[in-house]
Amino acid sequence: MNIYSPIEEHQVFLNYRGEELRYSFVSHLIDAFERRGIDFVVDIYEQRGKDLKNLFVRIQESRIVLAIFSTRYAESSWCMDELVKIKKLADKEKLRVISIFYKVRPRDVRKQTGEFGDNFWTLARASSGDQIKKWKDALERICDKMGLSLGDKSCEAGFVKKIVEEVQKVIAAIRIGEKEDDFGKKRKNNCSCECEIPIFKRCKTRKLLARDVRKQTGEFGEKFWTLAKASSGAQIKKWKEALECISDKMGLSLRDKCSEADFVKEVVKEVKRVIAAIGLEEEEINRMFVSELSSIVGT
């Protein structure tokens, strides 16, 4: 068993019928990946038993899978079993799948018809009902994803280029998603309560002191503890943590002798400011995406 490239953060796993495509279409795809510096994993020899388990591990380690469907794909129980594994991970959103239809119609793959279907049902005759159901589910699920198709009279060189571009887009999207997650985590308040606190959350206390809300004192506290008497200790703890966490945010306060009309204007102004700030963040994320994609395409 030979594997191209070490394990990498954004490696691409190639799922395909080796006997049909290994030394033709897939070899051109591998060459394009190497020239573009895209990390990938691909089997060289179709060996049974131990090597299949190793490939399952490599699928789990991958971030992207190219499921390359061809007319002879369904001849191989190996290909089909890999696809079942891929479906399970895709359902859990642990990897991205790009469907490639190499000189085969997507609907023939999805519905197991045509020459693809003939090969599938030939394999199915020697297989169990449970196995066939898993294969059919995997084919239908993966084929529901947006894919790329190459017809009989299409240019393979152009098709390979299109696949490389699509892979680069997905890699860029993954990286942007990771940066966005890291950005959100850094800005998220360290709160032990089981509540999601939006970055720009503002608390508005009306005609009471913010500290009474935070510490459950005063008239607010009296009502809180009246409710607490009929509640469990765990529930009370969650309520207290939520009140303290939310009230720690910068807020707006209306006192007894202040104008409600002016206060409403102030609240509206603050909401507009937050909406504008969110828009700026989205623009920054978009700029990051374009920059990341340009750097990848330019390599």
The yes-or-no answer on residue 165 being catalytic is no
Nearest Cα to 43, choosing from 19, 18, 20, 65? 18
> 82, 93, 178, 266: which is the annotated catalytic residue?
82
11, 62 in Cβ contact below 8 A? yes
Let me know: does 54 contact 102? Beta carbons within 8 Å.
no
Q: Is residue 112 a contact partner of residue 139, using CB atoms and an 8 Å limit?
A: yes
Token output for 11: 């490696």
Which tokens in the block code for residue 42? 């691909």
- Helix 50-61 crosses helix 77-91 at what angle (to 10 degrees)? 30
* Positions marked active-site: 82
